[in-house]
Structure 1
Amino acid sequence: MAVTTYKCPNCGAAMSFDSKTQKLACPSCGANLSVTDYDNYIKELDKEFGKADEADFKEEERDETASESNMKIFHCQSCGAELVTDKYTSATFCSYCGNPTLVEERLEGEFSPEYVIPFKIDRERAVSIYKDWLKKGPLTPKTLSKKSMIEKISGVYVPFWLYDFDANAQVNAAATRVRTIRRGDTEYIYTDHFQVYRDVTAEFDKLPADASKKMPDEQMDMLEPYNYADLVDFKGGYLQGYLSERYNYNSDELKDRAKVRASKYISDIARDTIQGYTTVNILGKRENIRNLGHDYVLLPVWMLNYSFNGKDYSFFLNGQTGKIVADRPISAKRTVFFSLLIFILAFVIINIGGLLLW
């Protein structure tokens, strides 16, 4: 198994993907290249000098040991420190020098994503959004705002399957419409009964299902929607400087989960076409949902996991849109403090009001 580092053509330093410029950037000399231009540059090197010289720019090393727990050990190409990954990690970086590294074998063949949405929100912006979120919770524990905690915020490319479905729903319903007519002092109420039938067809494109065991399904669903207009053909350069994992679940294993969503959507559409009635009672429904295809993609997420009073919490941020999905712990000390403060303020206001009236 090989690990790869994208190196600057000018100075040889490790490059990372910059979400602001949407290019590979060198932190040493300031050079930047689009991911496509970088790949084309490497191809030109292949043609001109052969693959031996490519190692000067995309450095590779074989893993040295593999434990029974499927952990792999590599060496950082910059400082020589050990990089330890599990069998699903496809992109990581050295915790000592920050050198970004790809595990190419976990991005090839059946594990090669078709598309990726590159990060649009950089680390600086993600930290700013996190701090703003903290300020909106006065009872949030102070420990969440410590520098050591904020430094743990990580950008992760999460594996997803995107499914396309053709769906049809046939619905039978009993409906009523109530009319009220007044003649003189008398009010007449009429109830009309209707048999309603709907036959609705729709196509659903790119219904997502996260394929990672580590990521909670509910929170990943809540991070939607992503703007799929930003999907680009996958290239390893987009992962430089971020974490990434290959999928844990294949497309067949998650297809039923996505199908449930398609079923709900077509049912809701069919039901929404039955309008203008006082009551509607669905008597029967037939559905036909057909999978038209699927794509394996990587989607950007900023995340932070933390514990408070023995309970685990998470902060997730959509790395494209900035949408937040997070758990907020409550500090007992701050709750007591603010309760006392409110009590004192209320006491003062009541007494001042009483003196003024007197």
Structure 2
Amino acid sequence: MVIDCPACGAALMFDPETGKMKCDACDSLFDPSELKDDFQARGQKELKYSSFDEADNKTSTLKIKHDDTEKISLKLNDTEAPAVSSSPSQGLSLKREEGDVSFNPESTFDNPVYDHGDEASQEQLDLDNETMECKIYTCTSCGAEVAINDVEASTFCSFCGQPTVVFNRVDSQRKPKYIIPFSVTKETAIEVIRKRLNKGFFVPDAIKNFEIERVRGIYIPFWLYDVYYHDKQYLKGKVGSGKNEHTYYYYREADCNFKEITLDASRQLNDESSQRLEPYYTNKMRPFALEYLSGFYADTYDVTTSEVDTLALQRAYALFQEAVNETIKAHSISVIKNAPDYKILKTQYAMFPAWFLTFRYEDKPYTLLVNGQTEKIVGGIPYDRGKVASSFFVLAFIFSIIGTFVMYWLLQDNDSEGTMKLLITILIFAGSGMISGFSNLNKVKESAKLTSSSATNNFVKNRGQ
């Protein structure tokens, strides 16, 4: 343990002769008991973290003349935020179509506004910022700092897996306010994965009978955001198709209070993996207690709220826009002009459970994740190329036979126009089926890359060995 001198900041050493802590730099002497209290106080002060950042920026306002535009007042108060509906591969970085759309969510939320609210008491704020004492270990291999509490002991780095951690100091870390305890056992997690793999026709037999290399139950840190979002929007959408397609303009004004939007607070865990683990049902959260960590591993957050404020607002915007678009019976909907008003009402720190199961195939590690609350499986596995190829040729042979009979029958039909329409319909369905098949195959490949990624493997590697 390294304790700094309160006078000059140099390292203190215990002096056996005086029985006190001595600074060789300034010759100061300190009583160990007094120094301990002072050290803890200074440590807590340095690490004290406020959930609400000060912000003096103001949101823009826009006066809109209603005229003959349609107005729908949409109120979605106290809505529990589901997972964002965009593709997981896009994460929370929302992309808008190019054109005359003036709203860019990525730049709009650069300066988030925090609001304590009338009911937010200082006592509650202090409770949210409560700290807990942890032992800080430093990995001499990768430089990472690992926080270990009294119910967890490890001689391996949680991040790189190397047995090179050395004790550094005792420090205070922000204590989670909530935790979702594991409700899925280790045996259940293994069983649901085996069942899923056995159902896959293209799954290699070697994987169906996989041998487990390691299974780790890990609590993942999350930030929970309560966000207020209000907007006035001019939108346009297209109705009809072809020559009958027309562009219509709409006006919408709505406000929404989103509760407990979840954002992964671990830099080491792949963001796509944590997003796919959702949803977690936050109504099952309990006040945090160290006892819940016994027998499991836990990572403290290394992503601060200031780093994900924008992502929280982007997710709130995505959910808001999805609800607004559902009120418009048109396609190709886009925002022309808007006046967003948003506030981050509250941020809270929580831990959610997940099982990490690692196995090897062709001497390559693959890690599948299981939501420790819902049993949802995240990850992809390699497919049997031989089975895929043989299935493709079998289907091609079957379709060729069917096509031959259909063409023979169609050529006997005198209605050439009807024959052509039927043939085109068959080709469209066949083409759609092939495109869908290749699309699903690409998704499997991407999931397999995620499952075998070094980041995911390192996150769980060698814990508890």
Global fold match (TM > 0.5): yes
* Cα drift, residue 218 of structure 1: 1.4
1:138 maps to 201
- The 5 A counterparts of 1:46-195 are 67=140, 69-70=142-143, 83-86=154-157, 109-146=172-209, 148-149=211-212, 151-174=213-236, 195=249
Amino acid at match of 1:226: Y
Residues 262 and 289 in structure 1, CA contact (< 8 A), matched pair in contact too: no
Residues 159 and 268 in structure 2, CA contact (< 8 A), matched pair in contact too: no
2:355 maps to 302
CA shift digits 1:266-322 (9 cap, x unpaired): 1222222234x6885542223222111111111011122455458664311111011
Q: 1:72 to 1:269 in 2, by over 3 A?
A: closer
1:252 aligns with 2:314: no
3-state secondary structure, aligned to 1:253 = helix
Q: 1:314 to 1:62 in 2, by over 3 A?
A: closer
Task: Say which is worse superposed, 305-314 or 319-328, in terms of deviation.
Answer: 305-314
* Cα drift, residue 228 of structure 1: 0.7
Q: 1:331 to 1:197 in 2, by over 3 A?
A: same
Q: Select the structure that is richer in strand.
A: 1
Amino acid at match of 1:84: T
Residues 198 and 208 in structure 2, CA contact (< 8 A), matched pair in contact too: no
Residues 222 and 349 in structure 2, CA contact (< 8 A), matched pair in contact too: yes
1:327 maps to 380
Residues 211 and 359 in structure 2, CA contact (< 8 A), matched pair in contact too: no
Residues 72 and 85 in structure 1, CA contact (< 8 A), matched pair in contact too: no
1:289 aligns with 2:342: yes
* Cα drift, residue 242 of structure 1: 1.2
* Cα drift, residue 223 of structure 1: 1.6
- Could you tell me which runs of 5 or more consecutive residues in structure 2 were left unpaired when the two chains were aligned: 2-133, 161-166, 399-465
Structural RMSD (CA) = 4.3
Q: 1:215 to 1:127 in 2, by over 3 A?
A: same
Amino acid at match of 1:302: W
3-state secondary structure, aligned to 2:340 = strand
Amino acid at match of 2:221: P
- Distance in 1 (CA, whole Å) between partners of 2:253 and 2:289 is 43
Residues 223 and 264 in structure 2, CA contact (< 8 A), matched pair in contact too: yes
* Cα drift, residue 119 of structure 1: 0.6
1:230 aligns with 2:230: no
Amino acid at match of 1:284: K
3-state secondary structure, aligned to 1:129 = helix
* Cα drift, residue 116 of structure 1: 0.4
- Distance in 2 (CA, whole Å) between partners of 1:64 and 1:214 is 16
1:316 maps to 369
- The 5 A counterparts of 1:188-207 are 195-207=249-261
Residues 234 and 338 in structure 2, CA contact (< 8 A), matched pair in contact too: yes
* Cα drift, residue 130 of structure 1: 0.9
- Distance in 2 (CA, whole Å) between partners of 1:193 and 1:144 is 53
Q: 1:303 to 1:66 in 2, by over 3 A?
A: closer
- Distance in 2 (CA, whole Å) between partners of 1:204 and 1:219 is 23
TM-score by length of 1: 0.59
3-state secondary structure, aligned to 1:153 = strand
3-state secondary structure, aligned to 1:152 = strand
Q: 1:236 to 1:278 in 2, by over 3 A?
A: closer
Amino acid at match of 2:204: P
* Cα drift, residue 169 of structure 1: 1.7
* Cα drift, residue 152 of structure 1: 1.4
Residues 88 and 246 in structure 1, CA contact (< 8 A), matched pair in contact too: no
* Cα drift, residue 328 of structure 1: 1.6
Amino acid at match of 1:138: F
How many residue pairs align between the two structures? 255
Amino acid at match of 1:319: G
* Cα drift, residue 231 of structure 1: 0.5
TM-score by length of 2: 0.46
- The 5 A counterparts of 1:20-59 are none
- Distance in 2 (CA, whole Å) between partners of 1:322 and 1:65 is 34
- Distance in 1 (CA, whole Å) between partners of 2:145 and 2:276 is 33
* Cα drift, residue 88 of structure 1: 7.6
Amino acid at match of 2:367: S
- Distance in 1 (CA, whole Å) between partners of 2:217 and 2:244 is 62
Residues 166 and 292 in structure 1, CA contact (< 8 A), matched pair in contact too: yes
CA shift digits 1:198-228 (9 cap, x unpaired): 1110011111111112321112112211111
Amino acid at match of 2:198: K
